[in-house]
Amino acid sequence: MSLRLGDIAPNFKAKSSQGEIDFYEYLGDSWAVLFSHPADYTPVCTTELGKTASLKDEFEKRNVKVIALSVDNEESHKGWIKDINETQDVEVTFPILADENREVAELYGMIHPNASETFTVRSLFIIGPDKKIKLMITYPASTGRNFQEILRVIDSLQLTANYSVATPADWKEGEDVVIVPAIKTEDIPAKFPKGYTAIKPYLRMTPQPNK
């Protein structure tokens, strides 16, 4: 199955380190980060899950629920979580899906045959409360994810979902944003009372509206 941005994220039921999970029920009205790992007890993934656990407060304040996936079973996950907690000095509180039959991996296109016939690649999906896919990133097995970038993208997605703005290159929370071209210049003062700077007719900057 080939998923694209804007598609509805498929629902599923699966076993996990925290029991059986219905994905949609687990999400409720939250945003979600769903990300896959090639297998349990792999070194890069151990650091990634540790980093995710350490950012628990950051995800919570953005109303984001995290759910990981690996092709091993739930008992293996529980043993791996002990290692993650020990080596990364964290407490993993989010579920890791047990996808032994690779049903979820196939549903989300997480297996790339030219990379591996059996293991999931490092795919990551950000899913909105409307259950639509907002972002997809796929990393090679040798490269760990940048979780500060993931948080940055979530900040951008949540901001641009509520205001008629886009975020420029390397934007971070609190910095100026771009007014979308659909907003006529004469309408800017009413929509953006903090003011704006027109660098070009098509490039108009304004302070972040919710700050």
- List residues with catalytic annotation: 45
Contacts of 105 (CB under 8 A, 6+ apart): 36, 69, 71, 99, 111, 120
Instruction: Write the DSSP string, 170-182.
Output: T--TTS-EEEPTT
Q: How far apart are CA 5 and CA 8, in angstroms?
A: 9
130 by DSSP, 3-state: which? coil
Instruction: Write the DSSP string, 29-79.
Output: TSEEEEEEESSTT-HHHHHHHHHHHHTHHHHHHTTEEEEEEESS-HHHHHH
And the tokens for 42? 């792999």
Q: Counting every residue, how long is the chain?
A: 211
